[in-house]
A and B are shown apart, each in its own frame.
Chain A
Amino acid sequence: SAVISQKPSRDICQRGTSLTIQCQVDSQVTMMFWYRQQPGQSLTLIATANQGSEATYESGFVIDKFPISRPNLTFSTLTVSNMSPEDSSIYLCSVGDRATGELFFGEGSRLTVL
């Protein structure tokens, strides 16, 4: 299993500002995943963060809007840039178990953009 710490757990932000979410894992992992969960909706994969290379973004998500850093095998950040109310969501960091394929999730960062 993996223990994942995310911060902030929640924040209220002003339109046009940017916020960086941090994700710390208690073990070294090759890939870390960032998901978005809009209110009452399912989880949508934003990008896969690989250590030592550029993140891989899913369709509909771009690096300028969601820059990701992955400085080492236990840490990643996701920035939500130039926020608008439509960015109000829960952002979840996750890692996978290579043996089982199971995903472990952080507690999530609940962003409200006014």
Chain B
Amino acid sequence: GQQVMQIPQYQHVQEGEDFTTYCNSSTTLSNIQWYKQRPGGHPVFLIQLVKSGEVKKQKRLTFQFGEAKKNSSLHITATQTTDVGTYFCAVNSGYSTLTFGKGTMLLVSP
């Protein structure tokens, strides 16, 4: 099935700093999804990217899908303590099934 590498594994920032996590695949992806999991919570869907070169924004979050559809990024501008959690990318690995990246844990210090 599809495999996706996600980096960094962990990042600790000061509140107000920016944050970016990256997902990379060796093969072309049909689409990519992003999820956020707060500490002690369950994953919550953020967005799905489908088109080559697609860029979507949700307030301070910017999601990009590479031109070759092999990589994606999630960028948070001016992080806040509410952004704390683990961010996962996920790709289709079969009929209606998703494979998740290892996730990037974000810690934000006030």
Contact = CB atoms under 8 A, between A and B. Distances in A.
B96 interface: yes
B103 interface: yes
Main SS of the interface on chain B? Answer: strand
A106 B42 contact: yes
A52 to B, nearest CB: 16
10 contacts: A42-B101, A45-B93, A45-B99, A100-B48, A101-B31, A102-B45, A103-B33, A103-B35, A107-B41, A107-B42
Contacts of A100: 48
Contacts of A42: 88, 100-103
Interface of B: 31, 33, 35, 41-45, 48, 88, 90, 92-93, 96-103
A92 B42 contact: yes
Interface string A14-35: 0000000000000000010100
Main SS of the interface on chain A? Answer: strand
A31 B96 contact: yes
Contacts of B103: 42
**What are the 4 A-B residue pairs with the smallest beta carbon separation, nearest first?**
A105-B42, A102-B45, A43-B100, A42-B102
Nearest to A90: B42
B88 A43 contact: yes
A41 B99 CA distance: 13
A104 B45 contact: yes
Given A33-B97, A43-B100, A48-B96, 7 more contacts: A42-B100, A45-B99, A92-B43, A101-B31, A101-B48, A103-B35, A105-B43
